[in-house]
Structure 1
């Protein structure tokens, strides 16, 4: 399971792309850029064979020979390409698949500041390597600004300056797989010179009238008090070892905590009992590592004694 994998929640209908992995947890970006936390054991990677079996064919990547690299109307332009070097590192290129020459400036943007990493002339059918990026740090990639000025070597129509800034969402980035023009390599490809289509307001209004509102993603809302006593979780506890019982209790704890966070709950209590204190210690250790927990503490003596933990969610 890696960043960029398309996955499905086992206990829901949501599908999305993994954007972050942290220990036993992952963050998934579903449609419209909405992100949800989940446990690794609650998601499954959607394989290519499954997509084909259920009718969603994986995009076919054409193999292009050198003779076929001539400029065509479909693939003409300047392209930004992320070409995998291995399962993590990607080389970033700017490629000119047109008959024009350009002055190109590529900068990494940090708020109101920027750092220019390429400033050069980009000739037809040529490419420049800009930098390398690690897919593991996808969330920390700075915005990338690409600026192009057309070089007219004779009297021609003055083309507007192209300036685009890219801040990728995982769901869009990993869907852009294709063959990079000029480079003739498979990667994630973006047409910098592609013009946005003019907005047809009348057609858009007609389309909106026929579309039913899409239901917002919903998550099971756990009770405010979750009882982790093993007899409450399974009828077969007498057949389980101590480690198996502890594993089940922690899985139920993590699942309900994630649902509480995703559902916007302010607080939740976990009843773990006193016993030998192992479950309480594991719960407190886990909570101490989470950034979105305001605080946690043993609850008041009544009604749970000191066998429960109150979690305040930030």
Structure 2
């Protein structure tokens, strides 16, 4: 008994597909309407293929909107297919198979909420198949939704064919009923015609969305005052609990932030009041300014009888 086996519950009339096998002999069965029923292995029995053929079961179109080639299409039908070809009893190779006469530029992405990961982006030529991923049936429940986008390639002047896309999230009851022969590959697997019920892509809207994503938002900077007082008591009330290095770091951060705002907002000049003191802050400011290329010059200003207590910065 494996994931994907079609089973019947012994103590009821429900039939479905095993989607999960847990320790302790328990399984989870998805019945036709999408509900999932927990059961013991001893309470379910696998429905054989012979039984299905004898009673003439007809496989209908599932709520996924994806149609199985096993029951609804012929191998020579011109279309594009999504095929899961088994590598072993657990792992499957995922292929896109193009039975159409036209080449397509294809993009395949896995969706994670508002995020996505592009797993394939290539030209899929007519009558060819390309592998896009590998998936484990054991992790069927964790497969993310798959978005497939197809852009027809017009090699000559002709009537435009619309681009289309399919967003796919499988239900177990639909997936495991879709056994068939993969076109082009000519291998048995789970096969889906994805051009059926495809949604047309609005190229104009797509371009707008792409342009919107690539727009660089211009940061808004608040124009600082012409004079910035860097005395520590003006910057914080907790300076009494700070070390000298912590106070200097805060003063330099304030200086750097306001200088950048002044440059970004187009100011011609700005003055930083650092006081006289032991001259450490003034020295650090001048050292920093000497390394910048977009400064015309800087000079001491606000002279008192004790020395210069500020630095004027002219911005180029």
TM-score (norm. length: structure 2): 0.56
Deviations 1:25-57 (A, max 9, x none): 111111111111111111111112333444448
SS, match of residue 33 in structure 2:
helix
Distance 1:53 1:96 in 2: 34
Q: Flag structure 2 segments of 5+ consecutive residues without an equivalent.
A: 60-67, 200-316
Shift of 1:196: 6.5
Which residue number in structure 1 is paired with residue 47 of structure 2? 46
Deviations 1:290-310 (A, max 9, x none): xxxxxxxxxxxxxxxxxxxxx
Within the alignment, does 1:164 sit opposite 2:166 as a pair?
yes
Deviations 1:89-141 (A, max 9, x none): 10000111111011000111111111111111111111110011010000001
Change beyond 3 A, Cα 1:9–1:186: same
Shift of 1:60: 11
Distance 2:180 2:56 in 1: 20
Which residue number in structure 1 is paired with residue 141 of structure 2? 139
Change beyond 3 A, Cα 1:149–1:55: closer
How much is the aligned-residue C-alpha RMSD, in angstroms?
2.4
Instruction: Give the length in aligned residue pairs.
Output: 188
Q: Which has the larger radius of gyration?
A: 2
Deviations 1:218-261 (A, max 9, x none): xxxxxxxxxxxxxxxxxxxxxxxxxxxxxxxxxxxxxxxxxxxx
Shift of 1:61: 6.9
Among residues 67, 90, 93, which one is paired with 2:92 in the alignment? 90
Q: Flag structure 1 segments of 5+ consecutive residues without an equivalent.
A: 63-67, 198-314
Change beyond 3 A, Cα 1:55–1:98: closer
Q: Equivalent residues in 2 for 1:142-221 (5 A)? A: 142-195=144-197
The answer as to whether partners of 2:70 and 2:178 remain within 8 angstroms in 1 is: no
Distance 2:4 2:19 in 1: 6
Distance 1:127 1:35 in 2: 35
Deviates more, 1:52-61 or 1:32-41: 52-61
Change beyond 3 A, Cα 1:122–1:54: closer
Which residue number in structure 2 is paired with residue 31 of structure 1? 32
Change beyond 3 A, Cα 1:83–1:51: same
Change beyond 3 A, Cα 1:194–1:55: closer
SS, match of residue 170 in structure 2:
coil
Q: Equivalent residues in 2 for 1:56-135 (5 A)? A: 56=57, 72=76, 75-135=77-137
Change beyond 3 A, Cα 1:120–1:39: same
Which residue number in structure 2 is paired with residue 6 of structure 1? 6
Change beyond 3 A, Cα 1:196–1:129: closer
Distance 2:49 2:79 in 1: 31
